[in-house]
């Protein structure tokens, strides 16, 4: 069984990221990666034992998956990749005062009522609306809160669905939370810097016209992904272990007794 990175460039890039993050975590937050809130814990590598335990746990949660294959398949190779995910949630608020006027029901909106003292030959000012013809019964304040999320996951070099990686748990690498956050600059992975800038500009252009941005947060997470290549009953196939909680995607698992289960 061999362990490879699957891409020498990504291995060098990961080392570059960790070298860049060897900074003083007490530095002030100014949008640079050297800001406070950086967590420099390396995501642990997935071993053969851990990959098998993750598969056994996954199989146990499926009513139609047999455990025999998970216990006896031969793991041949582990290909590891660490993805970067940037998230930019923003909370915005808008308020509006409504004073809905209503026609006075006592004078039908005329402001005057028939005089009862002169048998209706004259009219007098309506005592209900004071001649204003309309009534305001209440002042309605409408406040709307919205949470908007921009999310970007770096390109995976392994064939695992991106929608799973977007939901996967990751290791927090950087966090900035303020009324206004600034784009990340000089990140070793250029796509992350571009995504950070794009997310902040998107919030500014779409939310500012509808209300006021009250709080923004920007995070970078490391999401581990491992391709497990295995041999079972004369055939070679793969499954994937992803996220820090070691979720499994096994579309080609060989021991399924029915086809009614949905693979997630």
pLDDT tens, residue by residue, 216-258: 899 999 999 999 999 999 999 999 999 999 999 998 898 776 5
Q: Cα(175)–Cα(38) distance, rounded to whole angstroms? A: 7
pLDDT tens, residue by residue, 33-81: 433 333 344 577 899 999 999 999 999 988 888 888 999 999 999 999 9
Which of 43-52, 126-135, 189-198 is the least confident region?
126-135
pLDDT reading at 29 higher than 60 = no
Q: How many residues does the chain have?
A: 264
Mean of pLDDT over the chain: 78
Residues of the chain above pLDDT 70, percent = 75
Q: Is residue 60 within a helix (H) or strand (E), and if so which, with residue range?
A: helix 48-60
- Determine the pLDDT at residue 124: 81
Contact 102, 236 (CB under 8 A): no
Contact 166, 179 (CB under 8 A): no
């Amino acid at each position: 069984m061999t362990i490879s990175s699957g891409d020498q460039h990504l291995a060098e890039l990961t080392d570059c990221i960790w070298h860049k993050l060897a900074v003083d975590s007490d530095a002030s937050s100014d949008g640079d990666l050297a800001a406070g809130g950086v967590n420099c814990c390396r995501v642990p590598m997935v071993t053969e034992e851990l990959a098998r335990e993750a598969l056994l746990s996954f199989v146990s949660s499926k009513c139609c998956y047999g455990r025999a294959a998970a216990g006896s398949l031969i793991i041949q190779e582990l290909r590891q990749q660490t993805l970067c995910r940037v998230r930019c949630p923003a909370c915005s608020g808008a308020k509006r005062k409504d004073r809905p006027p209503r026609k006075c029901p006592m004078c039908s909106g005329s402001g005057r009522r028939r005089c009862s003292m002169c048998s209706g030959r004259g009219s007098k000012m309506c005592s209900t609306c004071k001649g204003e013809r309309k009534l305001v019964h209440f002042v309605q304040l409408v406040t709307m809160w919205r949470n908007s999320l921009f999310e970007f996951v770096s390109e995976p070099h392994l064939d695992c669905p991106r929608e799973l990686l977007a939901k996967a748990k990751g290791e927090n690498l950087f966090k900035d939370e303020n009324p206004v956050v600034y784009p990340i600059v000089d990140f070793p992975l250029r796509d992350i810097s571009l995504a950070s800038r794009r997310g902040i500009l998107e919030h500014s252009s779409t939310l500012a016209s509808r209300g006021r941005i009250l709080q923004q947060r920007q995070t970078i997470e490391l999401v581990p992904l491992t391709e497990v290549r295995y041999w079972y009953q004369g055939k070679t196939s793969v499954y994937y272990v992803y996220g820090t909680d070691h979720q499994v995607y096994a579309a080609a698992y060989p021991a399924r007794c029915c086809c009614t289960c949905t693979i997630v």
